[in-house]
Amino acid sequence: MWVVAERTRRRLCRAGFVALCVLPTVCVAGWIVAQRLPGRAVAASEALGSQLGARVTIGALREPQPGVTYFDQVDITDALSRRKIAHIDRLEVHRVSSGWLVRAEGANLRPQGDDLWRLLAQCIAPTAASPTLPVQFFADRVTIAGGASSASLLQCNATLEASQDVPRLTVSFRLPGPDRSPPIALELARSANGSLGIKLDTHDAELPASVMALVAADAARLGPAATYRGRGTFDELPAGVTGQLGGRFAAIDLAALAKGALPAELSATGAATLELSAAQFRDGRLIKAVGTLRAGPGTVSPQLIEGAAEQLRLVGLPETRRAPAGGTIAYEQLHFDFTLDAEGLRLTGRCGGAVAGTVMTRADGRASPLLAEAPTEIRPIPVTALPRLFSASTTIDWVPATKQSQWLLGKLPVRDTTPQR
């Protein structure tokens, strides 16, 4: 039998204690301390901010096991406006064989203007430090707060990937309620020429204006109760947006839409529904729109009725000229079909219970016409009539130099007078 000296046994025991107890304990303690060093959270914030093109702050970071990282109290701020876009209580990041899985808890969006849109576009920008593998994002609920209304998005899923070197971001979510239709889908893709492709399909869901305003700030002007259902496809080019849109805008607040956009003497109230059979855009300008507008009951200023009769070649009631200054007239229905293109505007009155061709009826219980088609008018109404109407112009020959007319002239259809070769 091999006999070991007492001194040697002591040395072996001490060496085993150091190797098997002290060193592992020191390593674990060091690893724990390293996980809590503020420098790691700062480095992670900078890396995530570089990916998003935004300023990111992380309250705490820890790795409970290899391949899993928790980011607590994450704030995302727009790099240009310095406004906070989002706060997330916890981001749980898993490294898996198929890429990265990210789960968010307590996600709250507080976007203003186009802050969120810039963030989404940056995720698929060619210069972004894109991850080498797909990233999948999950959140059971995302709360949108801001403005006069709030909303919640449920079962939010997003995937960031590259297909044939083209970055693509697909987002889907549901709205609260018993709706069993497919989730609302949004897709952003950056093409080889740098243009941004956008696809939106709400299926049968009614998308609130507060959610639409996340990527289109002007949607907030439709009113807090407004919704959209339909689909659209766009390409964001240097010259402007090109694409098409169809569907229904419901519960549009006419007063909110007119506030700050029209002269004070042109006022209207009531809830409106706009159904677009088709709307085509090219280089930021409307090419053609076909649809139906319904509104009422509500009130309208006499000046707006007079302007519509004069500029849109409609027949208006003479009594509107006797209305008191600053007063309004109650209407029951506003209902007409329209076609708008470079040739002009064509209106067809559709008010129910009234004579054929009635565009607007008075709230007198008899469906008396307030505005109606002129019996002999068959020519398209010139496109320039719209900026004259919404600028409260009293002339039918010139377009006034106002902000309203300048904006409209840049968006409405125009004829191409370039000689054809």
Query: What percent of the chain has a predicted confidence (pLDDT) above 70?
Result: 78
pLDDT recorded at residue 21: 60
Per residue in 277-287, pLDDT (tens digit) is 999 999 989 99
Tell me: pLDDT of 229 over 60: yes
Phi first, then psi: give them for residue 356, nearest 5 degrees: -60, 140
Give the number of other Cβ atoms within 10 Å of residue 381's Cβ: 20
Amino acid at 128: A
Q: How far are the Cα atoms of 279, 283, 410 from residue 415, in angstroms, in the given order?
A: 17, 14, 13
Per residue in 246-261, pLDDT (tens digit) is 999 999 999 998 887 7
Residues 341-380 as b or e (16 or more Cβ within 10 Å = b): beebbbbebbbeebeebbbbbbbeeebebbbbbeeeeeeb
Which two structure tokens, joined as six digits, stand for 109? 């969006």
Structural domain spans, the chain? 39-238, 248-416
Q: How far apart are CA 313 and CA 344, in angstroms?
A: 12
Q: How far apart are CA 386 and CA 321, in angstroms?
A: 21
Question: Tokens 């079962």 appear where?
Answer: 155
pLDDT recorded at residue 188: 87
Per residue in 97-107, pLDDT (tens digit) is 777 888 999 99
Q: Which residues contact 293 (CB under 8 A, 6 or more apart)?
A: 272, 273, 274, 275, 334, 335, 336, 338
Tell me: pLDDT of 75 over 70: yes
Q: Which residues contact 172 (CB under 8 A, 6 or more apart)?
A: 155, 156, 157, 158, 183, 184, 185, 186
Handedness of CA 256, 260, 261, 266 (dihedral sign): positive
Q: Do the strands 99-109 and 135-144 form a parallel or antiparallel pair, or are they unpaired?
A: parallel
Query: What ranges make up the beta strands (E) of 209-350?
Result: 227-237, 240-253, 271-282, 285-295, 298-300, 314-316, 329-341, 344-349
Q: Which residues does residue 136 pair with via DSSP β-bridges, in sequence order?
A: 101, 159
Q: How far apart are CA 279 and CA 291, in angstroms?
A: 8
Q: Which residues does residue 316 pair with via DSSP β-bridges, in sequence order?
A: 371
Q: Which residues contact 46 (CB under 8 A, 6 or more apart)?
A: 56
Q: Taking the mean position of all CA atoms in its chain, how far away is CA 240?
A: 17
Identify which has the larger pLDDT, 17 or 222: 222
Kindly indicate the confidence band of residue 37, based on its pLDDT and cuts at 50, 70 and 90: very low
pLDDT recorded at residue 281: 93
Rg (CA), the chain: 31
Mean residue pLDDT of the chain comes to 81
pLDDT recorded at residue 33: 46
Instruction: Identify whether the C-beta of residue 186 lies closer than 8 Å to the C-beta of residue 160.
Output: no
Element (H, E) at 88: strand 84-96
pLDDT recorded at residue 335: 97
CA triple 318-320-324, angle to 5 deg: 135
Question: Tokens 């098409």 appear where?
Answer: 244
- pTM of full prediction above 0.75: yes
Q: Which of 238, 159, 134 is nearest to 191 (CA)?
A: 238
Amino acid at 149: S
Per residue in 312-357, pLDDT (tens digit) is 989 887 655 555 556 889 999 999 999 999 999 999 999 988 888 9
Average pLDDT on 135-163 reads 82
Which two structure tokens, joined as six digits, stand for 221? 């002007």
Instruction: Identify whether the C-beta of residue 48 lies closer than 8 Å to the C-beta of residue 88.
Output: no
pLDDT recorded at residue 129: 47
Per residue in 152-202, pLDDT (tens digit) is 889 999 888 876 667 888 999 998 887 667 899 999 888 777 788 889 999
Per residue in 389-404, pLDDT (tens digit) is 888 766 667 777 777 7
